[in-house]
Amino acid sequence: MTLLSVRSLHVHYFTPQGTVRAVDGADLDVPAGSIVGLVGESGCGKSTFGRALMGVLPSTARVAAGSILFEGRDLVPLAEHERRPLRWRRMAFVPQTAMNALDPVQRLRTQMLEVLCERGGLSRTAALDRAATLLRMVGLDPRVLHDYPHQFSGGMRQRASIALALALDPALVIADEPVTALDVIVQRQVLDVLRDLQHRLNLAMILVTHDMAVVAYACDRVAVMYAGQVVESGPVAAVLEAPFHPYTMGLSHAFPNLRDDAAALVPIEGAPPSLLSPPAGCRFAARCPFAEHACHTQPPPLVEVAQDHLAACWRSTSAQELRALAMQPATWAA
Contacts of 130 (CB under 8 A, 6+ apart): 116, 120, 122, 167
264 lies in the site for another protein, by CB under 8 A: yes
Per the CB < 8 A criterion, the answer to whether 37 and 237 are in contact is no
In this structure, the number of other CB atoms found within 10 A of the CB of residue 19 comes to 14
259 lies in the site for another protein, by CB under 8 A: yes
12 vs 287, beta carbon nearer another protein = 287
Q: Give the type of residue at 43.
A: G
Q: What is the smallest separation between the CB atom of 226 and another protein, expressed in angstroms?
A: 10
298 lies in the site for another protein, by CB under 8 A: no
Q: What is the smallest separation between the CB atom of 191 and another protein, expressed in angstroms?
A: 8
167 vs 238, beta carbon nearer another protein = 238
330 lies in the site for another protein, by CB under 8 A: no
137 lies in the site for another protein, by CB under 8 A: no
In degrees, to the nearest 5, what angle opens at C-alpha 17 toward C-alphas 12 and 23? 20
Q: What is the smallest separation between the CB atom of 110 and another protein, expressed in angstroms?
A: 22
68 vs 236, beta carbon nearer another protein = 236
Dist CA 82 CA 209 (whole Å): 29
Q: Which stretch binds another protein (CB under 8 A): 129-137, 252-260, 303-311, 319-327?
A: 252-260
Closest CA to 224 of 56, 3, 4, 27: 27
144 lies in the site for another protein, by CB under 8 A: no
Q: In the window 25-64, what residues touch another protein (CB under 8 A)?
A: 41-42
91 vs 322, beta carbon nearer another protein = 322
80 lies in the site for another protein, by CB under 8 A: no
Q: Which stretch binds another protein (CB under 8 A): 51-59, 130-138, 245-253, 316-324?
A: 245-253
161 lies in the site for another protein, by CB under 8 A: no
Q: What is the smallest separation between the CB atom of 189 and another protein, expressed in angstroms?
A: 7
Complete edge-to-edge strand list for the sheet that includes strand 91-94: 91-94, 172-176, 204-209, 35-39, 221-226, 229-235, 309-311, 303-306
Dist CA 197 CA 166 (whole Å): 9
127 vs 162, beta carbon nearer another protein = 162
257 lies in the site for another protein, by CB under 8 A: yes
314 vs 332, beta carbon nearer another protein = 332
Pair type for strands 221-226 and 229-235: antiparallel
99 lies in the site for another protein, by CB under 8 A: no
Q: What is the smallest separation between the CB atom of 25 and another protein, expressed in angstroms?
A: 22
Query: Cα torsion at 69, 27, 76, 24 (round to 10°)?
Result: 180
Dist CA 237 CA 216 (whole Å): 8
Q: In the window 173-212, what residues touch another protein (CB under 8 A)?
A: 183-189, 191-192, 210-212
H runs (alpha helix) in 3-153:
46-54, 80-83, 108-113, 124-137
Contacts of 79 (CB under 8 A, 6+ apart): none
For every residue of 130-178, DSSP letters joined together read HHHHHHHHTT--GGGGGS-GGGS-HHHHHHHHHHHHTTT--SEEEEEST
Q: What share of the chain is helix, strand, coil (3-state, %, to 5)?
A: 35, 25, 40
148 vs 255, beta carbon nearer another protein = 255
217 lies in the site for another protein, by CB under 8 A: yes
Q: Which residues bind another protein (CB under 8 A)?
A: 41-42, 153-156, 183-189, 191-192, 210-218, 236-237, 240-241, 250-260, 262, 264-269, 271
